[in-house]
Amino acid sequence: MKSGSNLERILTGGHFAVTAECGPPKGTLGEMVRRKGELLKFYCDALNVTDNQTAIVRMSSFSGCVLLKDLGIDPVMQMVVRDRNRIAIQSDILGAAALGIRNILCLSGDHQRFGNHPQAKGVYDIDSIQLIQMVKRMRDERKFLNGEDISGEVPLFIGAAANPFADPFEFRVRRLAKKIKAGVDFIQTQAIFDMERFLRWMAMVRDQGLDKKVYILAGIIPIKSVGMARYMAKNVAGITVPKEIVTRMEQAKDAKEEGVKIAIEIIEQIKEIEGVHGVHVMAVAWEDIVPRVVKEAGLMPRPLV
Amino acid sequence: MIIAERKPIKEILSLTNSARRILILGCKGCVTVCSAGGEREVKILGCIIRMYRKKNGKPVEITERTLVRQCDPEYLDQLFDSIDQFDAVLSMACGVGVNFLADKYPATVCLPALNTKFMGGSEAQGIWTERCAGCGDCILGLTGGVCPIARCSKGLFNGPCGGSVNGKCEVNPDIPCIWQIIYDRLKLLNQLDKLDEILPVKDWSVSSHGGPRKIVREDLTI
Amino acid sequence: MSNVFKPEIIVFCCRYAVYNFVDDLDRSAISGFPEGVKIEQISCSGRVDVVRLLEALETGADGVYVVGCREETCHNVVGSYRAKKRTDYVKKVLSQLSIEPERVETFVMSRGDEAKFVEMAKEMVGKLNTLGPSPLRGK
Query: In Å, how far from its chain's centre is CA A287?
Result: 15
Q: What pLDDT shows up at residue B133?
A: 96
Contact state of A111 with B196 under an 8 Å Cβ cutoff: no
Identify any residues that bridge with A49 across adjacent strands, giving them in sequence order.
Answer: A22, A77
Contact state of C51 with B43 under an 8 Å Cβ cutoff: yes
Contact state of A166 with B163 under an 8 Å Cβ cutoff: yes
**Residue A71 structural domain:** 6-223+262-296
Residue A204 within a domain:
yes
| CATH classification code of C9-131 | 3.40.50
Q: Is residue C24 scored above 80 in pLDDT?
A: no
Chain A touching partners, 3 or more CB pairs below 8 A: B
Q: Which domains are delineated in chain B?
A: 2-118 (3.40.50.2300), 133-209 (no CATH)
Q: What pLDDT shows up at residue C72?
A: 83
Counted domains in chain A: 1
Q: Of A59, A55, A58, which Cα lies nearest the Cα of A83?
A: A55
Q: Of B26, B23, B21, which Cα lies nearest the Cα of B4?
A: B26
CATH number (domain holding residue A204): 3.20.20.220
Q: Is residue B30 scored above 60 in pLDDT?
A: yes
* Helix (H), strand (E) at residue B13: helix B9-15
pLDDT-derived band at B41 (thresholds 50, 70, 90) equals very high
Residue A20 within a domain:
yes
Q: What pLDDT shows up at residue A168?
A: 83
Contact state of A237 with B158 under an 8 Å Cβ cutoff: no
Q: Which residues in chain B touch residue A219, judged by CB atoms under 8 angstroms apart?
A: none
Residue of B nearest to C54 (CA): B47
Contact state of A178 with B166 under an 8 Å Cβ cutoff: no
Residue of C nearest to B10 (CA): C96
Q: Is residue C2 scored above 60 in pLDDT?
A: no
Query: Which conformational region is residue A292 in: left (phi greater than 0), alpha (psi within -120 to 50 degrees), or beta?
Result: alpha
Residue-wise DSSP of A123-190: --SS-HHHHHHHHHHHHHT-B-TTSPBPSS----EEEEEE-TTSSSHHHHHHHHHHHHHHT--EEEEE
Contact state of B55 with C93 under an 8 Å Cβ cutoff: no
Of chain A residues 131-150, which have a CB less than 8 A from chain B? Answer: 133-134, 145
Sign of torsion over alpha carbons A65, A70, A71, A74: positive
- d(CA C60, CA C40) in angstroms, rounded, equals 16
Instruction: Say what angle helices A61-69 and A86-98 make with each other, to 10 degrees.
Output: 10
CB pairs under 8 A between B and C: 36
Residue A151 within a domain:
yes
Q: Is residue A169 scored above 90 in pLDDT?
A: no
Residue A100 within a domain:
yes
Contact C18, C24 (CB under 8 A): no
What's the average model confidence in pLDDT over A114-131? Answer: 96
Residue A122 DSSP symbol: P
Q: Is residue C25 scored above 70 in pLDDT?
A: no
Q: Is residue C56 scored above 90 in pLDDT?
A: yes
Interface check for B35 against chain C (CB to CB < 8 A): the answer is: no
The shortest C-alpha distance from A300 to chain B (Å) reads 31
Of chain B residues 201-220, which have a CB less than 8 A from chain A? Answer: 201-202, 204
Average pLDDT, chain A: 95
Residue B165 DSSP symbol: B
The shortest C-alpha distance from C23 to chain B (Å) reads 31
Residue of B nearest to A238 (CA): B163
Contact A73, A47 (CB under 8 A): yes
Q: What is the pLDDT of residues B174-222, one digit of tens each?
A: 999 999 999 999 999 999 999 999 999 999 999 999 999 999 999 999 9
Contact C6, C33 (CB under 8 A): no
Contact state of B47 with C98 under an 8 Å Cβ cutoff: no
Residue of A nearest to B181 (CA): A168
> Hey, where are the domains in chain C?
9-131
**ipTM metric:** 0.91
Chain C touching partners, 3 or more CB pairs below 8 A: B
